Chain A
Amino acid sequence: NAGVMQNPRHLVRRRGQEARLRCSPMKGHSHVYWYRQLPEEGLKFMVYLQKENIIDESGMPKERFSAEFPKEGPSILRIQQVVRGDSAAYFCASSRQWGGETQYFGPGTRLLVL
C-alpha cells in the first residue's frame, strides 16, 4: 500500500510564474490536508479538502493560492504569480476519516522561487 505521494519533490520557479503541486493520498483516504513549512518554522495549516469539496481554507492566503481535490486524480495546490516569500516546503497529508484519525504525510515538495 503506497503512502502519500507528492510531486514534484523539488520545484524551481521564477517570480511571476505558476507553481502546481500534486498530492496523491493513500489508497482509501478521502481527506487531504495541505501544510506549508517555512525555513526554521513549524508546519502551518493551509487547507483541508474532501473529494470535490473544500472544507476549511482558513490557512490559505487570500490571493494567488488555490486548492482542489477532484473526483478523479490527485489534489492540486496551485500558486499563481509566485513571489520569493512562497519559497517553502509544502506537505500534503491524508486520512481515512476525521476525529483523531492519523494523518499520513507525504515527503513534501520544496519550492524555490528565484
Chain B
Amino acid sequence: AQSVTQLDSQVPVFEEAPVELRCNYSSSVSVYLFWYVQYPNQGLQLLLKYLSGSTLVKGINGFEAEFNKSQTSFHLRKPSVHISDTAEYFCAVSDSAPDSYDKVIFGPGTSLSVIP
C-alpha cells in the first residue's frame, strides 16, 4: 500500500527566504507524485506534478520539486517566499502502473507560515 509522509507539520519562514517542504513516499510500484496547495477555506490547487521524464519539475508560483527515486522523496522548494504563499501544502502519490486508476493518497499536510 502506498503512503505519504510529510515530516514537518508546520514551517515558519521569513518573507523572501528560501523554503523546502519535505515529502517522502512508500510504494511497491511506480508512482505519480503531486503537490497541492490549499488556501484557507478553499479547495486544493495543483502546484506541480511528476509523471515521468526529468526529475526536476517546475510548477506555478515559482515552486519546483525534485523526484528522487532512491530516496523516495519529492521535496518542494521555493527560492524566495512571499506572504501570499502562506497556506497548507499537501504532497500526494498515485499508482502509475498500467491499467491502474488514480486513487490519490495524500500526506497529512505542511502548514507554511510566511513571516513579514
Contact = CB atoms under 8 A, between A and B. Distances in A.
A103 B94 CA distance: 11
Contacts of B109: 41-42
Interface in B63-116: 90, 94, 96, 100-109
Interface string A23-52: 000000001010100000111110010000
Contact of B96 (A44, A48, A91, A99): A99
Contacts of A95: 102
Contacts of B32: 100
Chain A CB within 10 A, most for which of B43, B96, B107, B108 = B43
Interface of B: 32, 36, 42-46, 49, 51, 90, 94, 96, 100-109
Nearest to B110: A42
Count class of interface residues, chain A = 20 to 34
A107 B107 contact: no
A72 interface: no
A103 B101 CA distance: 12
Given A42-B90, A43-B90, A99 B45 contact: no
Chain B CB within 10 A, most for which of A43, A45, A102 = A43
A56 B43 contact: no
A107 B44 CA distance: 8
B28 to A, nearest CB: 17
Nearest to B50: A100
A107 B103 CA distance: 20
Contact of B101 (A42, A56, A102, A104): A56
A69 interface: no
